[in-house]
Structure 1
Amino acid sequence: MTVQRRMMREDRRAQLVEVALAIVSTDGADGLTLGRLAERAGVSKPVVYDHFESRSAILLSLFRDFDRRQTEKLVAALAEARPTVEDQANAIASCHVRCVLEHGAELSSIGAALTGSPDLAEVRRRSERNYLELCRRAIDSAAGRAVLDEPGAVAFLGAADAVSIAAAEGTIDPRSAERATVRVLLALTER
Structure 2
Amino acid sequence: MPTPTRRLPKQDRREQLLDTALEVVRARGADELTLLTLAEAAGVSRPIVYDHFGTRPGLLLALYRRLAERHRAETARALAGAPPAPEAIAEVMSAAYFACATDMPEFTAISAALKGNLEMETRQRDLLDEYTELMAAALSPHSALDLDALRLRCVGVLGAADAIAAELNSGRITESAAVAALADLIAGGLVPGR
Give the TM-score of the pair, scaled to structure 1: 0.88
Bigger shift: residues 16-25 or 144-153: 144-153
Q: Aligned ranges for residues 102-113 of structure 1 at < 5 Å?
A: 102-104=103-105, 106-113=106-113
CA distance in 2, matches of 1:59, 1:30: 10
- Alignment size in residue pairs: 182
Match of 1:159 in 2: 160
AA at the equivalent of 1:88: I
Distance, in Å, in 2 between the alignment partners of 1:75 and 1:155 is: 19
Residue in 1 aligned with 2:119? 119
Give 1:158 shift.
2.1
| Residue in 2 that maps onto 1:4 | none
The match for 1:46 is 47
Contact 2:91 2:179 in 1 (8 A): yes
The answer as to whether partners of 2:14 and 2:52 remain within 8 angstroms in 1 is: yes
In 2: Cα distance, 1:84 partner to 1:165 partner: 28
Q: Counterparts of 1:167-182 in structure 2 under 5 Å?
A: 167-182=168-183
Runs of 4+ in 1 over 4 A off after TM superposition: 144-148
Query: Which range is displaced more, 88-97 or 157-166?
Result: 157-166
Relative to total residues, which structure has the larger helix share, 1 or 2?
1
- TM-score w.r.t. length of structure 2: 0.87
State the alpha-carbon separation in 1 of the partners of residues 113 and 157 from structure 2: 26
Tell me the residue number matched to 2:36: 35
Alpha-carbon offset, residue 146 of structure 1? 5.2
C-alpha distance in 2 between matches for 1:45 and 1:20:
14
CA distance in 2, matches of 1:11, 1:33: 20
What is the root-mean-square deviation of aligned Cα atoms in Å? 1.7
Q: Matches of residues 43-122 of structure 1 in structure 2 within 5 Å?
A: 43-104=44-105, 106-122=106-122
The Cα shift of 1:145 comes to 5.1
Distance 1:156 1:113 in 2: 22
* Gap runs ≥5 in structure 1: 1-6
Shift of 1:119: 2.0
User: Gaps (5+ residues) in structure 2?
Assistant: 1-7
